[in-house]
Amino acid sequence: MRKNIIYIGIALGMMVAAGSCQNELNLAPVSSISNSNYWKTPDQFDAFVSGVMSAFRSSTYQFELLGEVRADVFGTDPGSSSAFTGEATQGIEHLWLNTLDGNNPGVSNFGGFYFNINQINLLISKLNSTNIVAQTNKNYYLGMAYGLRAFYYFQMLKSWGKCIIQTEPTTSFDLSKLAKPASGTDSVMALIKSDINLSEQSFGNDFSFKNQKSYWSLPATLMLKAHVYLWTAHKGGGNTDAQTALNALNAIQQNVSSLKLLPDFASVFASNNKGNNEIIFAIHNQLNESSLPFSGTFEPQTGLIANFYDSVNNRQFNVTTDNWGGVLRAPVMISTFRRFNDMDQRKWASITAAYNLVNGKYQIAGCFASKYQGEQNAGSRVYTNDYPIYRYSGLLLLKAEAEALLGQSPANEINMIRQRAYGANYNPAVEGYPNEPVDQRGDPFESILQERYFEFFFEGKRWYDLRRMGDKYVYEYTTVTPAESYMLLWPIDRNTLTNNPDLQQNPGYPLF
């Protein structure tokens, strides 16, 4: 019964957080249950951890928007202000056009992340003051909690720069209208690195995965550590931080021998292949439980896509098999589709191109994301794919990045990725590093960025990749110009500023 109560409490809290994303910074406690009637049995701790992961899953849409949509992936094609299907963009175009401000912030209320940060703070506090949870489980849960908190704060640092640091749970008073200034980026980064260290210490040498890799784990912490230290390596940390990142990645390889690249790229994301050997950490979805929240933005209406053609299979789309059931607010640019080589299996596993048939010839009309195909259920498509946060291919490309920073050759890792991508068509003399045209530019980071572009399409990575490797790449590949460098950070929405007077708008954005 109590297990059900906490699930209900967390679910209600999640709805409150979702509703408050447009108006206030929500750090309110779930309920008084947390203190008076809860935390009495190990099962209650287990249920609360499950609730924390459920709340993490509720941020999937925000992770995608923050990590990718401002970059050079999605957008309407030249000469059009709507999707090729005629569906209106309804404001999401502010992201790829980079015309954000306090009234059109793209993502409000710091992504709603503070709700789950407060849950995590409460979990840490209760775990550190209980003896009823077996030590092995306590250590694992603390490793999860510190790792997840570091992940949230790293998301906010990369997006807004300064943010409010809150590490104590709020269980006796309401902080919904928090009057507290944001901490500087140095302080936020110090917290992130401290939490990563605490996560590592808590996990110890436990490299195990739980719940089909949908629970945070030590390998997830080490992947986050690599991302964080590569971020600081590019921004002044130099060889020391690059080596720290490389050591973290090597530790995963040395201790988790099951990780590998799957030969079939599409199978990595299949609904019936969850927790496979390429996944390190993913957000879990399941029929009759939860589904990806993307169809209302990234997938076309079934009746509209049926007006177009699939040139690869020489057929017209139909409402039975192409029942995407969405609303296409954010199409994939045709230029994105054309950047992929036709022999690269990632192209066909990630994007669907739609064509008009004119006088017996196909003419491309537009594209949409189709990486997450979902499954058919009672005549409807349900998007039950997991959303990957960390994959083994990501480990390899982060390792290539660290090696490049250290003056070493990234060839081995880049070529492993390219060989999987091209399969039997792979020719080392053509696709192998350093033989592709991008490799000839003499900048290994351009090669790594290109590979990550193809590999992690629709996984919330591209904007962050450009930001990490340097501002010049943001200016090269996105609509942000050097004269608009303030746009490297996101604006804080007006409602959050109004309800939290100690917060200040990020420099460059209008106050009102």
H-run or E-run covering 199: helix 185-203
Closest CA to 127 of 148, 144, 115, 141: 141
Q: At what angle do helices 113-127 and 2-20 cross, to 10 degrees?
A: 150
pLDDT of residue 37: 83
- Would you give the distance in Å from CA 76 to the centre of its chain? 22
Instruction: Please tell me the distance from the alpha carbon of residue 392 to that of residue 263, in angstroms, as a whole number.
Output: 13
- Domain co-membership, 410 together with 458: yes
pLDDT of residue 180: 86
- Domain co-membership, 392 together with 455: yes
Whether 186 is covered by a domain: the verdict is: yes
Whether 99 is covered by a domain: the verdict is: no
Instruction: Please tell me the distance from the alpha carbon of residue 339 to that of residue 55, in angstroms, as a whole number.
Output: 36
Find out whether 477 and 72 touch, Cβ atoms under 8 Å: yes
Residue 423 has pLDDT above 50, yes or no: yes
- Domain co-membership, 35 together with 161: yes
**299-340 pLDDT tens trace:** 999 999 999 999 999 999 999 999 999 999 999 999 999 999
Backbone phi and psi for residue 292, each to the nearest 5 degrees, phi listed first: -60, 145
Whether 100 is covered by a domain: the verdict is: no
Three-class HEC string of 336-391: HHHHCCCCCHHHHHHEEEEEEEECCEEEEEEEEECCCCCEEECCEEECCCCEEEEE
Instruction: Give mean pLDDT, residues 252-280.
Output: 99
Return the C-alpha torsion angle 287, 291, 297, 301, nearest 10: 0
Find out whether 386 and 214 touch, Cβ atoms under 8 Å: yes
Instruction: Please tell me the distance from the alpha carbon of residue 365 to that of residue 372, in angstroms, as a whole number.
Output: 21
Alpha helices in 58-134 (DSSP H): 60-64, 93-97, 113-127
- Domain co-membership, 20 together with 117: yes
Label residue 175 by pLDDT band (50, 70, 90): very low
Instruction: Please tell me the distance from the alpha carbon of residue 138 to that of residue 459, in angstroms, as a whole number.
Output: 31
- Domain co-membership, 21 together with 58: yes
Residue type, 294: F
Average pLDDT, the chain: 93
Higher pLDDT, 141 or 16: 141
- Domain co-membership, 349 together with 397: no
- For the chain, helix, strand, coil in percent to 5 are 50, 10, 40
Instruction: Please tell me the distance from the alpha carbon of residue 307 to that of residue 377, in angstroms, as a whole number.
Output: 23
Give buried/exposed letters for 167-201 (b at 16+ CB in 10 A, else e). Answer: eebbbeeebbebeeebbebeebbebbbebbebbbe
pLDDT of residue 512: 73
Query: Considering only 40-49, 177-186, 418-427, 471-480, which range has the smallest mean pLDDT?
Result: 177-186
Whether 230 is covered by a domain: the verdict is: yes
Backbone phi and psi for residue 150, each to the nearest 5 degrees, phi listed first: -60, -40
- Domain co-membership, 181 together with 55: yes
Using the structure block, give the residue that is written with the tokens 């390219």.
418
Where is the domain boundary, 371, 395, 428? 371
**443-461 pLDDT tens trace:** 999 999 999 999 999 999 9
Closest CA to 94 of 81, 85, 111: 81
Where is the domain boundary, 315, 338, 371? 371
- Those residues whose C-beta lies under 8 Å from the C-beta of residue 275, and which sit 6 or more positions away, are 209, 212, 213, 214, 282, 386
- Those residues whose C-beta lies under 8 Å from the C-beta of residue 167, and which sit 6 or more positions away, are 121, 149, 191
pLDDT of residue 11: 42
- Domain co-membership, 397 together with 277: yes
Instruction: Give mean pLDDT, residues 87-104.
Output: 98
Closest CA to 51 of 107, 136, 119, 142: 119
First-to-last C-alpha distance (Å) of the chain:
49
Residue 172 has pLDDT above 90, yes or no: no
Whether 147 is covered by a domain: the verdict is: yes
- Domain co-membership, 16 together with 145: yes
H-run or E-run covering 254: helix 238-255
- Domain co-membership, 187 together with 218: no
- Domain co-membership, 59 together with 112: yes
Label residue 364 by pLDDT band (50, 70, 90): very high
Instruction: Give mean pLDDT, residues 429-456.
Output: 98
Backbone phi and psi for residue 496, each to the nearest 5 degrees, phi listed first: -65, -40
- Domain co-membership, 251 together with 239: yes
Percentage of the chain beyond pLDDT 90 is 90
Q: Is the peptide bond before 434 cis (omega within 30 degrees of 0)?
A: yes
DSSP per-residue letters across 15-34: HHHHHHTTT------S-THH
Instruction: Please tell me the distance from the alpha carbon of residue 495 to that of residue 63, in angstroms, as a whole number.
Output: 21
Whether 80 is covered by a domain: the verdict is: no
Whether 191 is covered by a domain: the verdict is: yes
Instruction: Give mean pLDDT, residues 217-231.
Output: 99
Domain limits for position 125: 1-69+108-206+481-512
Angle of CA points 111, 153, 501, to nearest 5°: 60
Whether 419 is covered by a domain: the verdict is: yes
pLDDT of residue 24: 46
Instruction: Please tell me the distance from the alpha carbon of residue 305 to that of residue 498, in angstroms, as a whole number.
Output: 42
DSSP structure class, residue 85: T
The CATH code of the domain that includes 39 is 1.25.40.390
Tally of domains within the chain: 3
